[in-house]
Amino acid sequence: MKLSMFADASLRAMVMLAALPPGEIRTAREVAEVIEVPVTHLSKAISRLSDFGLVEVARGRYGGAQLTAAGREASVGAVLRRLDPRSDLAECVSAEGNQCPLIADCALRSILAEAREAFYQSLDRHLIVDLPTPRQIHIMFPTIPVCTPVAAAL
Amino acid sequence: MKLSMFADASLRAMVMLAALPPGEIRTAREVAEVIEVPVTHLSKAISRLSDFGLVEVARGRYGGAQLTAAGREASVGAVLRRLDPRSDLAECVSAEGNQCPLIADCALRSILAEAREAFYQSLDRHLIVDLPTPRQIHIMFPTIPVCTPVAAAL
């Protein structure tokens, strides 16, 4: 089981943006470099997060991205539900549109859907804004002072 | 989020084998045809399930596969834990061995692991042997008589 590369990059970008002091912005390229994701993927991720109202993008020479209030207050579960367009965890219907012959009245399909809901509910308890740890903030933004015990030990 | 193609094929093969009357066997090709999975994938899946002691394979001209007692009594959660070799849901460490710069002290990583455990625990409640529904048994094995209300309505 794994997250899509797109959901993965989007979540990590949100963690990085959540670590910024209020009002600060970063370009897609800057975020991509820090979290080591190809900038083309990251640009698409930022664009989709902007469509969802989770990220605000200022265009132009001094432009960049920051989380919106909704993005800061969103839970990880809520973000992943938006990012995951698949209706089935298994290949009940493949990308080519082929359908599993057992799809009708399938217990496996319904218990996988139930388990995915348990997965999301577990993530509903955690807000994006609470994710960045002092050690990570120090890695992402060495110039931003941190003074918690964890960061001081670096 | 999705299951690997391998886990998907393995689970569906187990559902089909669980629908067989005791003592009956099916070849990898027969299973592959019914659940519409490429036979090469299915053969690998059966081989891996056999390594795990979940499936018993009789070789030779009249050979084929059937679930072992352990396979029949296994929960879907237990099977998926065995089939899923990934330690991380996200690309914390990529297939090429590249490591996310934020991996140390990462809250996202630990809450994703916690959520995956909630996913598995939800599946721990369901046994493989309880999965095939009468309608599916009729699709897989039209010659095996079924006489529940669901099957009678077909």
The pLDDT value recorded for residue A153 is 47
Residues in chain A closer than 8 A to B15 (CB atoms): 102, 108
Residues 69-108, chain B, touching A (beta carbon < 8 A): 76-77, 80, 84, 86, 89-91, 98, 100-102, 104-108
Residue A151 has pLDDT above 50, yes or no: no
Write out the two tokens for A65: 């991205």
pLDDT digits (tens, 9 = 90+) for A121-130: 999 999 999 9
The pLDDT value recorded for residue B43 is 94
Do B1 and A5 make contact, defined as CB atoms within 8 angstroms? no
State the Cα–Cα distance between residues B83 and B45, nearest whole angstrom.
9
The pLDDT value recorded for residue A87 is 67
High-pLDDT (> 70) share of chain A, %: 87
Residue A29 sits at φ, ψ, to 5 deg, of -65, -40
Residue at B154 is within a domain:
no
Q: Residues A135, A151: contact at Cβ < 8 Å?
A: yes
High-pLDDT (> 90) share of chain A, %: 48
CATH of the domain at B78: 1.10.10.10
The pLDDT value recorded for residue B87 is 67
Q: Residues A139, A146: contact at Cβ < 8 Å?
A: no
pLDDT digits (tens, 9 = 90+) for B109-130: 889 999 999 999 999 999 999 9
Higher pLDDT residue, B38 or B104? B38
Do A102 and B136 make contact, defined as CB atoms within 8 angstroms? yes
Residue at A153 is within a domain:
no
Q: Is B33 exposed, middle or buried (0-12, 13-18, 19+ CB in 10 A)?
A: middle
pLDDT digits (tens, 9 = 90+) for B54-73: 999 998 888 899 999 999 99
**Nearest neighbour of B115 by CB, restricted to A102, A123, A131:** A123
Write out the two tokens for B10: 């393995």
Residue at B54 is within a domain:
yes
The pLDDT value recorded for residue B23 is 87
The pLDDT value recorded for residue B132 is 86
The pLDDT value recorded for residue B44 is 94
**pLDDT classification of B144: cutoffs 50, 70, 90:** low
The pLDDT value recorded for residue A109 is 87
The arithmetic mean of pLDDT across residues A12-37, rounded, is 90
Residues in chain B closer than 8 A to A150 (CB atoms): 105
Our count of domains for chain A comes to 1
- ipTM score: 0.84
Residues in chain A closer than 8 A to B86 (CB atoms): 1-2
Residue B146 has pLDDT above 60, yes or no: no
Higher pLDDT residue, B94 or A83? A83
Q: Residues A82, B86: contact at Cβ < 8 Å?
A: no
High-pLDDT (> 70) share of chain B, %: 87
Residues in chain A closer than 8 A to B8 (CB atoms): 90-91
Do B2 and A7 make contact, defined as CB atoms within 8 angstroms? no
The pLDDT value recorded for residue A62 is 83
Structural domain range at position A82: 5-144
Select from B1, B137, B148 the residue whose CB has the most chain A CBs within 10 Å, as the one to mutate to test that interface.
Answer: B1
Residue B98 has pLDDT above 80, yes or no: no
Entry field: residues in chain B = 154
Mean pLDDT score of chain B, rounded to an integer? 85
State the Cα–Cα distance between residues B24 and B62, nearest whole angstrom.
11
Residue B74 has pLDDT above 90, yes or no: yes
The pLDDT value recorded for residue B70 is 96
Residue at B35 is within a domain:
yes
The pLDDT value recorded for residue A145 is 57
